[in-house]
Amino acid sequence: MKKSLYCMLLLAVSCTGNKTEPSLSMQLSKGTWIDLTYSFSEETLYWPTADKFRFDTVFVGVTPAGFYYEAFNFCAAEHGGTHLDAPVHFAKGKWTADQIPLGNLTGEAVVIDVSANALKNPDYQITVADMETWEKINGSIPDDAILLFRTGYGSFYPDAKKYLGTDERGAEAVAKLHFPGIHPDAATWLATRRKIKAVGLDVASVDYGQSKDFKTHQLLYEKNICGFENVANLDKLPATGVYIIALPMKIKNGSGGPLRIMAWVKK
């Protein structure tokens, strides 16, 4: 049976003391690290009703003591830019941001490209058929995988009009959101027919922009399946052979938070 990337990395760690086996650094040198995170700045995109990222200067320059010093304060909503949706975001009693086991934020990943359909229809919802088609080519989605969907919308970030469907702010702008997401039927299929740790997309939500009840959020998060939203650079990842490390800000009792996510890809 084909070893997962997770097993390969564990094997590398366990063998670092055995000179007959490759070290962890040697194993990692056989791949490439890819940053899947957008920088946080005044350009960062947020839900129309959420507070935007603020970055205030405390001090920049030479101090009276004669040494150079920089410090800043930042403030932002949990959900914006590349970020984590903790399951408690839409499922009472499920994991908060600080409760998610590290093993559920790291591991083998697969990438399903639905851009051919999503770029034609801003209200496209990813279907069970999309996943079944991928599996016919690549085999079943592995147990305990992190599932990433590439819609192609990453090419629009941070242009709010193209990426979100509107650049307006406030409650009235929510009805004008248009971007792809995961259909609730597909979420049900994943929650009951497959065993995944997390799901991520290169759009602002796991539900499509016109969703009113956020049913996909409810269905996935009830099963403690985490969400990664506004993931960058999915166009640089292959369908398989990917290992993900997704480390959110550890906010106690948080429903989410800024996420630094990266991928290791086999050469």
Hey, what amino acid is at 56? D
**What beta strand segments (E) does the chain contain?**
31-35, 54-62, 68-75, 83-85, 106-113, 125-126, 145-150, 181-182, 196-201, 226-229, 242-248, 256-266
d(CA 265, CA 30): 9
d(CA 125, CA 179): 9
Cβ neighbors of 106 (< 8 A, separation 6 or more) are 6, 243, 244, 245, 246
Instruction: Give the 3-state secondary structure of residue 145.
Output: strand
Cβ neighbors of 154 (< 8 A, separation 6 or more) are 202, 231, 232, 233, 234, 235
Phi, psi of 235 (to 5 degrees): -70, -10
Is cis: bond before 158, omega within 30 of 0? yes
| Distance from chain centroid for Cα 88 | 16
Residue holding tokens 């496209």? 124
Query: Annotated catalytic, 89?
Result: yes
- The single residue of 79, 83, 89, 217 carrying the catalytic annotation is 89
Beta bridge pairs of residue 236: none
> Which residues form the catalytic set?
89
